Amino acid sequence: QLQLQESGPGLVKPSETLSLTCTVSGGSISSSTYYWGWIRQPPGKGLDWIGSIYYSGSTYYNPSLKSRVTISVDTSKNQFSLKLSSVTAADTAVYYCARHVSLREFDPWGQGTLVTVSS
Amino acid sequence: SYELTQPPSVSVSPGQTASITCSGDKLGDKNACWYQQKPGQSPVLVIYQDRQRPSGIPERISGSNSGNTATLTISGTQAMDEADYFCQAWDSSTVVFGGGTKLTVL
């Protein structure tokens, strides 16, 4: 059974870079058909797609975040990562990683990790 | 940019049928999916490719998509169905989520 687990600092200072890693277990990140995505959810609000990556490194980003986002993949570790630069309080959210099936639906999702932007 | 619109809230009595809509321009030409999210939990896929159910999702949860509207239908609604529901589609190389609908089982 495929599982995803987010990891990284829970507190980031304003103007710094948020960095998270998603570790995939129970399956290979190099499987064809699947992309791997990051989604966030501010407290009490809806879902906001950040971007998705293929094992080859091909990426799609949310246009509204594209200038600040970098998603990368490490197939040797079965992991993919998110970097979001110049963060502000508006970037405070639960960050989820998920398998992105054929650039359609996300399934399954990780448990999520709360990242708070505060000095 | 593409937008998906959902009603903020829907209420239903136990045992009745709940319908949650998701509207977007020519949404019927795209693949729509739906997620269920209970408080403090991660979203769970309940419908994909308009009407397909992942394994483990009960048959009383169904989906349709035509024209400008995708609909999630829950028949014989139970207290355990009370949750937030989000629709999602892929358009012009971007993922779009609806704003979410809070389903209350009264």
Digitized pLDDT (tens) for each residue of chain B, 106 residues in all? 999 999 999 999 999 999 999 999 999 999 999 999 999 999 999 999 999 999 999 999 999 999 999 999 999 999 999 999 999 999 999 999 999 999 999 9
Dihedrals φ, ψ of A66, to 5°? -55, -40
Residue A77 CB: number of other CB atoms within 10 A?
Answer: 12
pLDDT at A68: 98
Cα B67 to Cα A77: distance, rounded to the nearest angstrom: 44
Among the partner-chain residues B54, B86, B100, the one whose CB lies closest to the CB of A107 is B54
**Residue A35 to residues A59, A60, A77, A82, A110, Cα–Cα distance (Å):** 9, 10, 16, 14, 14
Within an 8 Å CB–CB cutoff, is residue B48 touching chain A? yes
Question: Is B57 within 8 Å of chain A by CB?
Answer: no
B90 touches chain A (CB under 8 A): yes
Helix and strand element counts for chain A (H, E): 0, 11
Overall average pLDDT of the A30-56 stretch = 96
CA distance B18 to B16: 7
Q: What does the alpha-carbon distance between residue A3 and residue B83 come to, in Å, rounded to a whole number?
A: 23
Would you say B22 and B70 are in contact if contact means Cβ atoms under 8 Å apart? Answer: yes
Q: What is the pLDDT of residues B43-70, one digit of tens each?
A: 999 999 999 999 999 999 999 999 999 9
Which 20-39 residues of chain A touch chain B by CB within 8 A? 37, 39
Amino acid found at A37: G
- How deeply is A12 buried, as exposed, middle or buried, from its count of CB atoms within 10 A (0-12, 13-18, 19+)? buried
Please give the Cα distance from A52 to A71 (Å, whole number): 7
Token representation of residue B32: 């729509």
Q: How far is CA A63 from the centre of its chain?
A: 15
Which runs of consecutive H residues, i.e. helices, occur in A5-83?
none
pLDDT at B17: 98
A60–B97 CB contact, under 8 Å: no
Q: Kindly identify which residue of chain A lies nearest to residue B97, measuring between CA atoms.
A: A47
User: Is the Cβ of A112 closer than 8 Å to some Cβ of chain B?
Assistant: yes
Task: Identify which of B45, B95, B100 has the shortest CB distance to residue A49.
Answer: B95
Query: Closest chain B residue to A104 measured between Cα atoms?
Result: B90
Q: Do B43 and A105 touch (CB under 8 A)?
A: no
Write phi, then psi, for A47 (nearest 5 degrees).
-90, 140
How many Cβ pairs closer than 8 A exist between chain A and B?
56
Which residues lie below 8 Å from residue A68, measured CB to CB, with a gap of 6+? A84, A85, A86
CB-nearest partner of A104 from B33, B43, B44: B33
Average pLDDT on A43-69 reads 97
Spatial separation of the C-alpha atoms in residues B43 and B38, rounded to whole Å: 7
User: How distant is the Cα of A98 from the closest Cα of chain B, in angstroms?
Assistant: 10
